[in-house]
Structure 1
Amino acid sequence: MSKQPYLIEFPQLGDPAIGYISVAEPQQPLPFQIARAFWTYTTPETIVRGRHAHHRTEQVLVAAAGRILVSTEMPTGAIQVYALESPHVGLYIPPYVWHTMQYSAGAVQLTFASTPYEEADYIRDYAEFRRVWGVTNK
């Protein structure tokens, strides 16, 4: 069985009077070494991004600003929805988990990935995602 998505809380250092800093260091609290980081921004609220899974890549998504609704689907068909709205909380997404994201106005998503970009790692077709796990629509 594949790993499950789960929330990760990053250290939140500081206080309301001066602001906060959160830190991700190797293996703390990330469950992998970071090979790539990227951010998504200025996405219209009506657009749904993601719509894919990965063969190998693990990711942690963080709402650096705004609110991001992340929907995950396991190969079993189990669906979970996460509301990321605090920059010290991230969502771990393991391989073989279909995921989509929808953003509030002004949202910025920071993503830490375990592998460099490689197109062959992506499962972009939903039917293919289901076929990889031997699931057929009945």
Structure 2
Amino acid sequence: MSSIYDCAVIDLGKINSDQGNITVLESSDFIFPVKRVFYLFDIVGGESRGAHAHKECHQFLIAASGSFEVQLDDGKYKRQVFLNRPNMGLHIPPGIWASEMNFSSGAICLVLASHTYSEVDYIRNYEDYLKYCNK
């Protein structure tokens, strides 16, 4: 079972240029193969998303624009991470309850996932999650 200490903020680096900056993501940059990419946008400022855990899927979150916080919970400990730079990302391994919250107006949350969508991989009820943690 993963713990909140297995979650890591990773600097993806950036290449500075007079025309703007660029961050490059290549498959070798990840500890998991990326099988799905999606992004959250048009979220009302201050609102929350997420509030679930995955049994098998790894996720990597990037604040592509704006900012938001991620509350991480392993059933025993909680930790909060603030994402506000597009060259920084948060790896969330399976088994962690994660909630994205306090989105700034216009924020975009880019998510790279190790698995394609499968509803059976999700734990959406917190009480069920705590039971899952205690197996």
TM value normalised by structure 1: 0.91
Provide the rounded CA distance (Å) in 2 between the counterparts of 1:46 and 1:82: 15
Q: Report the aligned-residue RMSD.
A: 1.3
1:47-62 maps to which residues of 2 (within 5 A)? 47-62=47-62
1:24-43 maps to which residues of 2 (within 5 A)? 24-28=25-29, 30-43=30-43
Q: How far has the Cα of 1:45 moved from its partner? A: 2.2
> Which residue in the other structure is 1:83 paired with?
82
Give the one of 2, 5, 8 matched to 1:6.
8
Larger helix share, 1 or 2:
2
Q: Out of 100-109 and 126-135, give the one that drifted further.
A: 126-135
* Aligned pairs, number: 132
Larger strand share, 1 or 2:
1
How high is the sequence identity, in percent, across the aligned residues?
A: 32
Spell out structure 1 runs of 4+ moving beyond 3 A.
none
Amino acid at match of 1:91: L
What residue ranges of structure 1 are gaps of 5+ in the alignment? none
CA offsets per residue over residues 76-108 of structure 1, 9 Å max, x none?
x21111110000000000001001012110000
Provide the rounded CA distance (Å) in 2 between the counterparts of 1:63 and 1:133: 28
TM value normalised by structure 2: 0.93
